[in-house]
Amino acid sequence: MSSFSQAQLDALNAAIAIGATRVTVDGNTTEYRSLDEMFRVRAKMQQELADAASARPTHIQPRFERPL
């Protein structure tokens, strides 16, 4: 599971688009030092969300059938 949510990524993208360095998601505010820092965090978020989306299942339910 990713430590970031899609909502966090969306909020960060919106802030980058307008040049803001402060992002608030679900009542939690984060202030970044620069847009460069925001670009680095965004890349990390995108990678973690992509990894989580393509992760293999960690649990497989076996299924058995008896022949008739």
Domain assignment present for 62: no
The boundaries of the domain holding residue 26 are: 6-53
Residue 1: pLDDT above 60?
Answer: no
Domain assignment present for 66: no
Domain assignment present for 61: no
Domain assignment present for 40: yes
Question: 0.75 exceeded by the pTM?
Answer: no
Domain assignment present for 35: yes
Domain assignment present for 60: no
Rounded Cα–Cα distance for residues 14 and 50 (Å): 19
Give the list of residues 6+ apart from residue 16 with CB closer than 8 angstroms, or none: 35, 38, 39, 42
pLDDT digit string, tens, across residues 7-63: 999 999 999 999 999 999 999 999 999 999 999 999 999 999 998 877 666 677 778
Domain assignment present for 63: no
